[in-house]
Structure 1
Amino acid sequence: MAVEIFKCVNDGMDKIPKEAIQGLDIEFPKVHIDAYEMARMSKAIKEYRKDNLCRVPFCNTVEGEALGAIIKLGDENTGPRVEKYLINSIEDIEKTKSMDFTKGRIEQVLKAVSILSDQGERVCLAVEGPFTIANSLMDTGLFYKFLRKEKERMNDFFKLLENDIAKYILKGIDKGANIISYADPVGTVDIVGPKVYREVSGRITYNILKALEGNLKNSVIHICGKTSTSLESIGLAENIPIEIPNDIPYGQILKNIDFSKSGIKFIGNWCIKRSGLNKKDGILWQLKFICES
């Protein structure tokens, strides 16, 4: 039976609402590079949306920058964007070094997680998947050219990404992130096709998340709906429905669950950006990975 890929709703929930920060003297782009300002804005957005979760960071370029991409931070109207790619040749692939979590924006993001956690907040750390990170590092056309013609070198590159993403998630959990929001919007099956998803992007995601399964403590990984259904569509995972109240905000449901006791490690088939809204179908989708023989 074919699996229907989750459809994203463009409801503006990924944007920073200007109304949320009016009168708070919050500066751009300081909110992207300073942990205290980042934490302050995260709380302001949470309160404005009557949410239960504080989310950081506010863009999908942090990992790419930690690997060497030059990022233009933008302002209150335009978020961070790639200004200059790190990789322009196959030789650049081989020069790519692992993320350094002790400097730059990625350090500040982890520090913001710690600040919010110490303040008693329920913290969600957004982490990007391999293809989305690669999209910050090189031109899309060049990326797919390398994917076709330089498989061995790309395998080494993907191994580096796989290890770095897993390390980032564990560091986030150590700093107090209760929820890891994992998404790879550039690498879902409807974008790259079943073959590339099965052999590359889906495989890397499977490797990362499966390896973390026993190290999540009291945290949970919330997998983007498009990613969770992509994994299910190629037989790497199954999504299991769990009944939940339909008159309570989704974030409140997540806040009420003791994940260390529930046995739930992964959740999918929904968008964490909509955590301030009620999930009207009354279903929480637990994702379980299928171990291949």
Structure 2
Amino acid sequence: MTKGFMEHFRCCGEPERQIATELCQRAGVEACDVYCHSEAMAAMAQTICQVEGDVLCKLPFATMAEAEQLGAEWSFSSNMAQPVPGALPYEKLSEVEIPAFSFDYGLMQENLQAIRLLKSKGERISFNIEGPFTLLGLLVPSKEIYKGMRAKPNLLRSLCEQLIVNIEAEAACVAEAGADVISYADPLVACNMVSPLIYTELCGDIIREALQRITKAVPEVTVHVCSATSAAFQRAGFCHCRSYMVPKGMCYGEALCFIRRQAGVRLVGHGCLQHSCCKMVKPVVYELELC
């Protein structure tokens, strides 16, 4: 990646995945079921894929499964049937406890079943997994996390390492269920969110461990790192980047599938899966190599 890209990089962020009434009618599902039941999840993911002309069905629509496993709460607004985070279970970083994920009950099981349903219909699936800092933000106020980077780095690292164990296990289950792409993001420590020193000494090192363990756990799946995460990651020297040219006229999702087949590329960054249905202006995909 060129220096110019790094200097001018801007991420529009992950949009709130609110499900429009029209889409629910087209998919034949209720809005609240899209977040809670595998059949509705799969139907909505397939409907969005068809409407947008995408090659990837994207799941999930919220981090409710991880929140449920960690003891955090979500609720549905009365007028929009959209999930919103409830009260955080902890006020202080020192209070946080990280339980192990289980994949045979609740929303986590529904997510995995939705992947299987889509796979049985011949679809290609992209599944989003959040990084440890963002998952920690489901449990404690973000200001506590940022304070902890300076005041309690060892505690923060310990909590993140426990979360990485869960993330690795989730990635393995998602891959076994049939996902083709795992999308990794950690927006809480994305570009310009923390100082370069803290990123180099703490955040980037933790993200590197997460990506190392995920890629090892899912050798047959492409891991796509959100550009807001990968840009800061490369800037801090935690990875090298190699560009691959793909045929002109491809959309980004097609390009990801192409380079996996043609070159066996497993870890990709500096792109945005929100644009997977869009034709690429510059037909280049960036492979990341961890340092």
TM-score, normalised with respect to structure 2: 0.89
Per the TM alignment, residue 114 of structure 1 is displaced from its structure 2 partner at its CA by 1.5
Unaligned runs of at least 5 residues, structure 2: none
One-letter amino acid matched to 2:273: I
Count of matched residue positions in the alignment of Structure 1 and Structure 2: 288
The equivalent residue for 2:178 is 176
One-letter amino acid matched to 2:44: M
The equivalent residue for 2:214 is 212
Could you say if the C-alpha distance between residues 51 and 157 of structure 1 is closer, same or farther in structure 2, counting changes exceeding 3 Å? same
Per the TM alignment, residue 74 of structure 1 is displaced from its structure 2 partner at its CA by 4.0
1:279 has 2:280 as partner: yes
Could you say if the C-alpha distance between residues 81 and 198 of structure 1 is closer, same or farther in structure 2, counting changes exceeding 3 Å? farther
1:54 has 2:57 as partner: yes
1:262 has 2:267 as partner: no
Per the TM alignment, residue 5 of structure 1 is displaced from its structure 2 partner at its CA by 6.3
> What RMSD, in angstroms, separates the aligned Cα atoms of the two structures?
2.4
| SS of residue matched to 2:86 | strand
Unaligned runs of at least 5 residues, structure 1: none
| SS of residue matched to 1:117 | helix
- 1:94-138 CA-partner distances (Å, limit 9, x unpaired): x33122222221221111112111221100010001121111111
1:132 has 2:166 as partner: no
The equivalent residue for 1:107 is 109
The equivalent residue for 2:153 is 151
Q: Percent identity?
A: 25
Asked whether the 8 Å contact 1:38–1:57 carries over to 2, the reply is: yes
Distance in 2 (alpha carbons) for counterparts of 1:28 and 1:199: 43
Could you say if the C-alpha distance between residues 202 and 176 of structure 1 is closer, same or farther in structure 2, counting changes exceeding 3 Å? same
| SS of residue matched to 2:54 | coil
One-letter amino acid matched to 2:99: K
Could you say if the C-alpha distance between residues 229 and 163 of structure 1 is closer, same or farther in structure 2, counting changes exceeding 3 Å? same
| SS of residue matched to 1:156 | helix
Asked whether the 8 Å contact 1:61–1:133 carries over to 2, the reply is: no
Per the TM alignment, residue 230 of structure 1 is displaced from its structure 2 partner at its CA by 1.0
One-letter amino acid matched to 2:110: Q
Distance in 1 (alpha carbons) for counterparts of 2:152 and 2:264: 40
Instruction: Return the structure number with greater relative CO, CA threshold 8 A, min gap 6.
Output: 1
Could you say if the C-alpha distance between residues 75 and 197 of structure 1 is closer, same or farther in structure 2, counting changes exceeding 3 Å? farther
TM-score, normalised with respect to structure 1: 0.89
Could you say if the C-alpha distance between residues 151 and 284 of structure 1 is closer, same or farther in structure 2, counting changes exceeding 3 Å? closer
Asked whether the 8 Å contact 1:130–1:184 carries over to 2, the reply is: yes
Distance in 1 (alpha carbons) for counterparts of 2:185 and 2:178: 20
Distance in 1 (alpha carbons) for counterparts of 2:78 and 2:233: 35
One-letter amino acid matched to 1:143: I
| SS of residue matched to 1:255 | helix
- 1:162-197 CA-partner distances (Å, limit 9, x unpaired): 111111111111110100010111111411121222
The equivalent residue for 2:194 is 192
Which residue among 37, 42, 48 is the counterpart of 1:39?
42
Distance in 1 (alpha carbons) for counterparts of 2:12 and 2:151: 35
One-letter amino acid matched to 2:53: K
Asked whether the 8 Å contact 2:243–2:287 carries over to 1, the reply is: yes
Distance in 2 (alpha carbons) for counterparts of 1:274 and 1:75: 31
Distance in 1 (alpha carbons) for counterparts of 2:83 and 2:8: 28
